[in-house]
A and B are shown apart, each in its own frame.
Chain A
Amino acid sequence: MTTTPIKQNVNVTVNGKPYSAEVPTYRTLVDFLRYDLGLTGTKETCSVGVCGACTVTLDGKMISSCITLAVRVDGADIQTIEGVANGDELHPIQQAFIDNGGFQCGACTPGQIMATKALLEENPHPTEDEIKQWMMGNLCRCTGYYQIIDSIKAAAEKM
C-alpha cells in the first residue's frame, strides 16, 4: 500500500480535557492515546481484546482500546489511567494496589485499575465471586491474582 492514508480529525475529551488530532482512519484508540496524544499510561499487550491491559472507559463503559478505532470515539468522553489520581494524591484504588501488593511488573496495572474503578462504580461492594467474574478479562502474567483481589476488596472498603 503506497497511497497516502485517509485521515480524519478526531475531537475527544480525555480525562476532562479536550484533545484534537488528525489521524489515519485505521488508528486504534490505544495508539491514538499513546502516540498522538502522548498518554502512555494505557498499555497495549495482546492487541486482540483479551488481556485487558488497554482497558479505558468510553462514555462511562469500560472497553478494550486496542480493538476500538480512534475515529469511532470522535466526540466521545474517554477516561484513562492518567485521570484516576487527583494531582499527586493517589486514588484509593491505586493506594490499595500499592498497600496489598496488587502488582509486580506493572504492565497490566493500568488496565486492572481501570477495570476495578468500573466495577466499583457499578457495584460498590462486590463479593469475591463478583470480583472474579468481572476481573477475569484482566490478565496478570506475574499471576498475582490473589493480591489483586485483596486490593480490590481493600479499595471497596475504603471508598
Chain B
Amino acid sequence: MNDFAFHAPTSLKEAADLLAQYDGEGKIMSGGTALILLLKQSLVQPDHLISLHRVPEARGIEVKDGVLHIGGLVTQREAEQSAVVREATPLLANAYSRVATVRIRNAATVGGGLAQADPAQDPPASLLVLNASVKVMSSSSERVIPIEDWFVDYYETSIAEDEIVTELLVPVQPKDLGWTYIKYLPRTEDDYATVAVAALGKTKNGKITEARVGLGAVAATALRASDLEAALVGADAKLDVLKDASQGIADIVDPTSDPRGSADYKRDMAVVFARRALEQVLGVV
C-alpha cells in the first residue's frame, strides 16, 4: 500500500468537503473490503483516504411512498437481514444474502458495493430489474441516477470524483410478480458467480404479461435483457417459447475467460440460466 493521510470525518458533508478539498487525490472508504484489496495491489494510490466509519448518517432503512430507501452506509449484512428489505424487495434481500461470506457482509456496505461496480457482484442484476436508482452527493449538490445509467464499465460508474453514494432507492417489488436470483457457481459458494440471473415475471391465462431479466458476471457491467423482455410479453408461457426467446441472450453478453469459466462457456450458461430463471418466475414446468 502507498502512503496516505487518513481522515475520519463525522458527517457526510465533512466527507464531501474533504473530497472537494483534495480534488482528485482523495478516496472514500466505507467497508473497505474491496478498496483495501485495490490499495494492496497499488491499483488505487490515494494521497488521502477518507473513511466513513464515524459518519452517523446514511444508515437507515425505510419505505416511503412505495420506495425502499437504504442508506449508503448500511452494511450488506444489515440489508440482507432487515425485515423491511425482506418485505419490500425480497429479491434484493436475497441477492445481498448471497454476497461472499457473513464476515465480508458485516463490513461491506450497500453504497460501497455500488461504487465498486465489479460486474460479477450479486446485487446489480436485481437492482436493474427492480428499476432502482442511486442518490449521490458532493459538497455542493445532490443528484439521483437511474441504475441503468449507473454502471458504465468494469469498476466504473457515472459517479463523479467528488461525489459519495448516500442512498439506494428501490421501488417496492410488486407482490404479484414471481422472483428469483440464480447464482451459478461451480466452485465455492462464497465466490463470485460464473453467471448470475435475476428475474421477475407473471402470467395471466397462460400468457406472459410481464417479464424482467437482469444478468451479472457476463459483461463489463450487469445487463438488462430488454429485447428478450419485450419479446416475451404477450407470448405463451411455454417452455419452447422461453427456449427460443432466450437464445438472443448469447448476443448481448460479452463475458471474459477467467477461472470461473471460459467466455464461450459463460455465454452458453447465460442462455441456460436466463431460461431457467424465467421458468421459475413464470411457473413454467
Contact = CB atoms under 8 A, between A and B. Distances in A.
A134 interface: yes
A47 B3 contact: no
Contact of A26 (B3, B29, B103): B3
Contacts of A50: 190
A61 B101 CA distance: 13
Interface stretch (A13-21, A34-42, A67-75, A101-109): A67-75
A48 interface: yes
A49 interface: yes
Contacts of B32: 67-69, 72
A33 interface: no
A67 B1 CA distance: 12
A136 B101 contact: yes
A31 B167 CA distance: 33
Contacts of B104: 49, 64, 137
Contacts of B43: none
B1 A137 contact: no
Contact of B4 (A26, A62, A64, A118): A26
Given A6-B3, A25-B4, A69 B36 contact: yes
A42 to B, nearest CB: 13
Given A49-B33, A67-B37, A137-B190, A1 B106 contact: no
A24 interface: yes
Chain A's interface size range is 20 to 34
A6 B5 contact: yes
* Interface residue tally on B, bucketed by range: 20 to 34
A110 to B, nearest CB: 14
Given A49-B33, A69-B32, A136-B188, A62 B106 contact: yes
A107 B26 CA distance: 37
Interface in A59-114: 61-64, 67-69, 71-72, 74
A52 B101 contact: yes
Contacts of A48: 37, 40
Nearest to B41: A48
Contact of B6 (A25, A47, A55, A134): A25
B88 to A, nearest CB: 24
B51 interface: yes
Contacts of A134: 102
B54 to A, nearest CB: 9
* Nearest 9 A/B pairs, CB to CB: A137-B101, A26-B1, A25-B6, A61-B106, A67-B36, A71-B6, A63-B107, A137-B103, A62-B103
Given A68-B36, A134-B102, A137-B104, 7 more contacts: A48-B40, A61-B107, A62-B106, A64-B107, A136-B101, A136-B188, A137-B103
Interface of B: 1-6, 8, 29, 32-33, 36-37, 39-40, 49, 51, 53, 77, 100-104, 106-107, 188-190
7 contacts: A26-B1, A62-B106, A63-B107, A64-B33, A71-B6, A72-B32, A137-B190
